[in-house]
Structures are given as C-alpha cells and as structure tokens.
Chain A
Amino acid sequence: TQLLEQSPQFLSIQEGENLTVYCNSSSVFSSLQWYRQEPGEGPVLLVTVVTGGEVKKLKRLTFQFGDARKDSSLHITAAQPGDTGLYLCAGDMRFGAGTRLTVKP
C-alpha cells in the first residue's frame, strides 16, 4: 500500500501569512493531485503534478512535485480567510490524512 503522509495535520494562521503544506511518501507516483474540501462537500481538484521537479501556480497557490516524484508541497502566499478548508493530497486514488487550515481574519 502506498502511503501518503501529510504535514502539518492542523494549521491556524492569521490573514496575510504564508504557509506550506507537505505531502510525503516512500513510493514513487506517476502523478499527485491536490484537492480542497469544504465541510459536507466532496473534494475539489486544485492541481495535478506529473513531472518530477514540476512547479505549478494557481493564483496565490504554488504546487511543487519532488524530483523523485515521491513528495509534493503546497505553498500559499498571503493567506485569506477564504482559503480555510481541508487540503488533501492524493496519488493512485488514495488520499493523505489532510491538512486542516484555518485562516483567521
């Protein structure tokens, strides 16, 4: 079983701060996905990273895939209260435990 470990599990920050969420595994993935989930709803796909070393940007969100394709990170710049939610990484249809982010105004 390929396990995805996410850290931190919980993160509470003030509006305007930057943060990074990590997704690590001992296994190699052909691709990793990042999702965001609101309470009571299904996850929504943010991005897919495919190539080792790849960096993708989505407005204030920057996603990176490790060179060895075993890990990924999500960096949010100048976080806003609207960024609050559960961030999940996934590979081969399996999910990490998630990072629950709270951004306080």
Chain B
Amino acid sequence: GAVVSQHPSWVICKSGTSVKIECRSLDFQATTMFWYRQFPKQSLMLMATSNEGSKATYEQGVEKDKFLINHASLTLSTLTVTSAHPEDSSFYICSATPGGTSAFGYTFGSGTRLTVV
C-alpha cells in the first residue's frame, strides 16, 4: 500500500528559529500533498494544499509567509515554520494519495511533534 514518510518525528527549537519538516511519498508519486496541524486533544486542521511545481493553496487564517511550503518533486513536499514561536508548538501531519486526488481516502505520515522553547 501507499506509504508516506515524515521527518523528523519530533523537533525542539528555540524561539525565532526556523524548522523544516519533510513529507515523502515512498512508493508513489503525489502531485498533491496536504499539511495539517493538530493541537493536543483536538482534531486535524487543514493548513494548506501543496501542489507539485506550483504555489501552495493556504486555508483561511494560515499565514503564507510563516508556513512556507515547497513541493519541488513528485515525491517530496516540505513545510518550513519560519521564526517559530511557542504558539507554533503543535503536531504537524502531512497526507497524500497516489494520483494526487482521491475520494477514497488518503495516507498520512506519522507526524512531526514541534516544540518551540
């Protein structure tokens, strides 16, 4: 089955620094990947849709300049949290599916726990 790998699984960074999170589709090509954020004991909130070779589409209320998304290849999307602050601490998860779009569900990465101190 489709496998999505996320790296790192956890990261601690200082306030003001930037952190890059990688999302890879291991055995399929993904023209579209999705980035979510999940706060403790809450559901997943869609942040943005990452499109290979073009600009990401951000959800309302998500700052483009703060959460930089790059989807430079068909198997890799990256999310960079710039000038991180403690309130950015969260669980970030990506998802993708073979073929780019599917009404039949998506495969999720194992998530990245970001802690900003």
A residues near B6, Cβ cutoff 8 Å: 42
Provide the main secondary structure of the chain B interface.
Answer: strand
Given A93-B34, A96-B43, A97-B42, A50–B103 Cβ distance below 8 Å? yes
- In the complex formed, the residue of B with least CB distance to A4 is B43
A43 to B109: give the CA distance in the assembly, Å: 8
Chain A residues with a Cβ closer than 8 Å to the other chain, count: 21
Contact of A33 (CB < 8 Å), options: B105, B109, B110: B105
Chain B residues closer than 8 Å to A42, beta-carbon distance: 4, 6, 93, 95, 108-111
Residues on B with C-beta less than 8 A from A88 are: 43-44
Within the assembled complex, what's the spacing in Å between the Cα atoms of A100 and B42?
A: 10
Which chain A residues have a beta carbon within 8 Å of chain B's beta carbons?
A: 30-31, 33, 35, 40-45, 47-48, 50, 88, 93-98, 100
